[in-house]
């Protein structure tokens, strides 16, 4: 049994004095994936942020082995820089390859366009390109399909399949089918 990339044990999450979920158990082994579903406000994004270490769990144990890459609603790319340089900043921190990420999400032709000129869908692709470029074994994706066209969704599907084939794991929160059909669904109510 290989070491789990992410393991949540009896995790509970409080937000603003309200209990979002408790006794959450989840283990992601290399190649594994899980999809979080549930109505708006059920705590999908909070669970992603707990897994990323950005929120402290109110109870339970969160264990991660290895690096994680997060894609959420935050763009985190300097608007004045070109896409290649903005992604390159993070790729240097990660020791990854920004060009590979851009190629995988089909935004390589935008490399010299300033980030502030990008459309919503292109920004989403850029955020996913950063995750792909990071080389981190664990991907934490919060609504990765939002704003993507069918071609972008297909690229996301391929990138996720390739990542899992390489021994990576994915935790995704989403409403729409994004191509993790074999992954277990975790319903937050």
Query: What CA–CA distances, in Å, run from 37 to 82, 118, 139?
Result: 35, 29, 17
Among 55, 84, 103, 113, binds other proteins (CB under 8 A): 55
Rule CB under 8 A: say whether 84 interacts with other proteins: no
Rule CB under 8 A: say whether 98 interacts with other proteins: no
Interaction with other proteins in 105-144: which residues (CB under 8 A)? 140
Among 20, 24, 36, 52, binds other proteins (CB under 8 A): 52
Listed in order, strand segments (DSSP E) in the chain are 6-15, 18-28, 33-37, 59-64, 68-71, 138-142, 169-173, 185-187
Distance CA 111, CA 158 (A): 21
Cβ closer to other proteins: 73 or 151? 73
CA 34 from centroid of its chain's CA atoms: 12
Cβ closer to other proteins: 49 or 179? 49
Rule CB under 8 A: which residues touch other proteins?
52-55, 67-70, 72-78, 80, 89-90, 92-94, 140
């Amino acid at each position: 049994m290989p070491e789990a990339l992410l393991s949540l044990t009896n995790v509970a999450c409080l937000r603003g004095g309200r209990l979002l979920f408790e006794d959450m158990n989840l283990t992601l082994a290399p190649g594994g994936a899980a999809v979080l579903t549930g109505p708006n406000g059920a705590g999908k994004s909070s669970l992603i942020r707990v897994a990323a270490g950005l929120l402290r769990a109110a109870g339970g144990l969160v264990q991660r082995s290895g690096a994680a890459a997060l894609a959420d609603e935050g763009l985190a790319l300097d608007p004045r820089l070109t896409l290649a340089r903005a992604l390159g900043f993070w790729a240097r921190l990660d020791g990854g390859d920004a060009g590979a990420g851009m190629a995988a999400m089909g935004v390589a032709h935008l490399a010299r366009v300033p980030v502030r000129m990008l459309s919503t869908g292109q920004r989403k692709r850029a955020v996913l390109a950063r995750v792909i470029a990071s080389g981190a074994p664990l991907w934490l994706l919060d609504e990765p399909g939002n704003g993507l066209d069918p071609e972008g969704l297909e690229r996301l599907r391929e990138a996720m399949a390739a990542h899992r084939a390489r021994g990576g794991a994915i935790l995704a929160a989403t409403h729409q089918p994004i191509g993790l059909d074999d992954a277990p669904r975790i319903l937050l109510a």
